[in-house]
Structure 1
């Protein structure tokens, strides 16, 4: 009996193994083992098999989802001017890591999408809304001002909405303000609010109106600095469209309409705030990207015509890539002099015959550091297409070579070339050294290349170096000059007496 039961058990195991068949289903490039059942030999019923069509349908659905997602990404890239039309950039992380983030992040007001979510900037959002209200309905309007406000608001919204796609294409990093249609509406709202704030700010200044918030001593410099940050911008054509709607509003009295162009008002504003002579931009309004670009094309002026064009190095070699620091140059006989009657910091010259290095005076303070950082970042982000306009970068690289330590800052300060308003000389040297980390120039093709060449040639001459050493050792103070003159007098008298004695001896021998 026991043997019969064991035989039946083994037979049942064999039948069970035959009932289950492992098949391989191939999906794309992957293989899966799927257990399927086959009909039992001695039964008339069947167990339901896995339908291959269902597996194919599931795979097709996943493939379609991936395809749709990729098509959406490609659609984002194919927007107008998206591939090569960037004008509002993000500062690279490598540059941010080498300097303090405060140089690139606004401290009072956010303009554009990059920093609008920062908590410390939210307080100014209510101020923006107030400026929007003033833009649409100022205090000089008549009783029917609400109707005029609605008409102007509708006009402004329509203008900005038409520019929405073009404005998005200006940002290096896609501005995300919401989802779907809400994102488009919120982006238009942001452009309208920030644009009206900027335009109304300049209109109020032009009309002589005051603002108790921005008239506070510490607020105005912060606002001025924030408006010139690379990441804190909106497209200039949005500002022009809003200003055009404001100045051509049919319900506004002619006496209340600003006469100059927006560009003229803005350049006048920056000229007054920085104590400069009135200047005009070298770019047309249609070619201006944003406020920082307008400032760059107005005040970062190209070199004067008398500066020579870049030339080849002496003896057919390469142009020098470096220049000695101020301390070493003084040891080689170079004399630093403040260049008179010029406000253009780029107007740097060097006389190869006399060794006089003329540099315009520059004041180094906190706002100057931030402005230079953003202007250099703007020049660097524009790429090789605008290499001919990287004049400030060339100037910054030169100053970094001249300033290595605090001693170099002292030398330039004594020559009235630099006015250091930072905590100490070490901070000024650190500023230029940090700024150099994010600066690149083509050493064979920049406007200061002749200066590098002439300074290098002058330092190779021996006589100026010996003359400088003589002045440093014997003519560096009134007492040193007096001692030198006294020693020279004794030497001349001694030499004269020696010659007389020799002559007397000579004539006595041959008498």
Structure 2
């Protein structure tokens, strides 16, 4: 027994140890842990297409593989016009292969790994033993992602498509229905491709794709999300770029107290308005007016927010801006009435089937999330709001609204009582005046 224990320990020591610091800095594409997927596992899983190794070859995603090779064929035709070949692609991608591998967490997973079998969400594979297959995925999926964004850009500009009109993905009529689902799949944390792969492929393309960041911003209509056309720092992948455009750098401070709900804030005299930008950091409170960025809610919103929050939680240097924004909104939204108020001010907009569902969404996505601290701008807004609400006259106003104006019948009774009191006073005064005139 002691000998067996010693052999087991030695075997463990022979396994690859922690990666070097440089590799950890690049690592930014993670398998989402079970504690997060338990809230809503479907929010982290692609519906139409896999990008990268984690969901590669999943049964329900295989139908998209043929379209990927159609995209690769179109990419090949374009680079051929620039006198380039697939050999040039392979050489360029082989050169950055070690860096591409370093982006992914847990690529070295054996087929019989018990933890992997328990997760049951991935086709487990030791990609480090099959680097050629990994590189093929980077090329095929990378070309597919570029083709989707490029085709969408040309479609929006009214340009003629390079694809057959009946193509199941890139056909003009099909793109209208398929692209929204692909946009959603391309924002999943487990479904990310390194921007290094996309930029390497774009550099070989001779058709003038241009800056990949600009292409992604146009694809997600993010050009007006930030207050100014600032330079985005080097990003790891599409989800990282999406998050950085929606947020900005900031410090994180502990939250001293939560703010009141939107309807309660309105009762103390707070007004609401839409911010000038859609940046999650564009939150302010001045002159009794709370300005909030517009949030477009649709069938993909919950998935997008959960994946952004998962990336912030798993990547040490990602920041906390999206999580702070979501918790701030969760404080504001305690009932469907709060959603209705924000929707009337166009702060919440989109394909909202019911205010109750939006309320439940925010309540659900913060259930297992952890907030390490609010951003400095939200702390400032919280402080101003709480100071505003603590003033005595505003507290009386809020109590009056809550007690007498929230229920129609109570309000009618109050109004009737006031009218009766006024008539009684008038009658009394009239009687006194009549008495002295006599």
The TM-score bracket by the shorter chain reads 0.7 to 0.9
1:179-223 residue CA offsets vs partner (Å, 9 max, x unmatched) = 688601111111111112222333334454265433423311101
Where structure 2 has 5 or more consecutive residues not aligned to the other structure, the ranges are 110-123
For 1:190, what is the secondary structure of its paired residue?
helix
Q: Following the alignment from structure 1 to structure 2, what is the Cα–Cα distance between the partners of residues 280 and 213?
A: 36
For residues 420 and 113 of structure 1, the distance between their equivalents in structure 2, rounded to whole angstroms, comes to 33
1:122 counterpart SS class:
helix
Q: Alignment partner for residue 131 of structure 1, among 61, 71, 78? A: 71
Tell me how far 1:462 sits from its aligned partner: 2.4
Q: CA 1:199 to 1:474, structure 2 compared with 1: closer, same or farther past 3 Å? A: closer
Q: What is the aligned partner in structure 2 of residue 89 from structure 1? A: 30
1:349 is aligned to 2:254: no
Residue of structure 1 in register with 2:181 after alignment: 222
CA distance in 2, matches of 1:96, 1:283: 30
In the TM superposition, residue 90 of structure 1 has moved relative to its aligned partner by 1.8
**Secondary structure of 1:400's aligned partner:** helix
Match of 2:130 among 177, 183, 202: 183
What's the counterpart of residue 270 of structure 2? 335
User: C-alpha separation between the residues in 1 aligned to 2:373 and 2:220?
Assistant: 32
Specify the structure having the higher radius of gyration (Cα).
1
Task: Provide, for residues 67-115 of structure 1, a one-character-per-residue CA deviation record: whole Å limited to 9, x for no partner.
Answer: 57743423xx446733443111122210111x22121111111000111
Contact 1:112 1:191 in 2 (8 A): yes
Q: Distance in 1 between matches of 2:258 and 2:379?
A: 10
1:260-311 deviation digits (Å, cap 9, x = unpaired): 3222222222228x99799746424xx21011112222234568xxxxx889
- Kindly indicate whether residue 351 of structure 2 is the aligned counterpart of residue 421 of structure 1: yes
| Cα contact 1:391–1:446 (8 A) shared by 2 | no
**Alpha carbons of structure 1 residues 201 and 399: separation in structure 2 relative to 1, 3 Å:** same
In structure 1, stretches of 5+ residues that fail to align are 1-27, 31-58, 248-256, 304-308, 312-317
Q: Does 1:380 align with 2:320?
A: no
Corresponding pairs, count:
407
Within the candidate set 326, 343, 350, 2:262 is matched to 326
1:291 corresponds to:
238
Partner of 2:168: 213
Distance between the aligned counterparts of 1:115 and 1:475, measured in 2? 51
**Aligned counterparts of 1:413 and 1:132: Cα–Cα separation in 2:** 43
CA drift at 1:329? 3.1
Answer yes or no: is 1:406 the counterpart of 2:355.
no
- Is the CA contact (8 Å cut-off) linking 2:107 and 2:125 kept in structure 1? no
- Is residue 2:327 matched to residue 1:392? no
CA distance in 1, matches of 2:238, 2:430: 78
CA contact (8 A) 2:23 2:102 kept: yes
* SS of alignment partner, residue 179 of structure 2: helix
Contact 2:224 2:278 in 1 (8 A): no
Q: Which residue of 2 aligns with 1:156?
A: 89
| Corresponding residue of 1:16 | none
Give secondary structure in 2 for the equivalent of 1:163. Answer: helix
Residues 1:365 and 2:298 aligned together: yes
Q: For 1:131 and 1:469, locate their aligned partners in 2 and report how far apart those are by CA, in whole Å.
A: 63
Whether the 8 Å contact between 1:82 and 1:169 is mirrored in structure 2 is yes
Residue 147 (structure 2) aligns with: 200
Partner Cα distance (2:136, 2:255) in 1: 52
The answer on whether the counterparts of 2:226 and 2:245 sit within 8 Å (CA) in structure 1 is: no
More relative contact order, 1 or 2 (CA 8 Å, 6+ apart): 2
RMSD: 3.8
Contact 2:320 2:375 survives alignment (8 Å) = no
CA distance in 2, matches of 1:141, 1:225: 31
For residues 56-135 of structure 1, the aligned pairs below 5 Å read 67=10, 70-74=13-17, 77-78=18-19, 81-97=22-38, 99-135=39-75
Counterparts of 1:346 and 1:181 in 2: how far apart (Å)? 40
Paired residues of 2:27 and 2:102 also in contact (CA < 8 A): yes
What's the CA shift string for 1:30-83, capped at 9, x where partnerless? 5xxxxxxxxxxxxxxxxxxxxxxxxxxxx9xx95x9757743423xx4467334
Retained in 2: the 8 A contact 1:282–1:298? no
Deviation of the 1:346 alpha carbon: 3.4
Alpha-carbon distance change, 219 to 377 in structure 1, aligned in 2, over 3 angstroms: same
Q: Are 1:464 and 2:397 counterparts? A: no
* Change in CA separation of 1:475 and 1:488 when aligned onto 2, cut-off 3 Å: farther
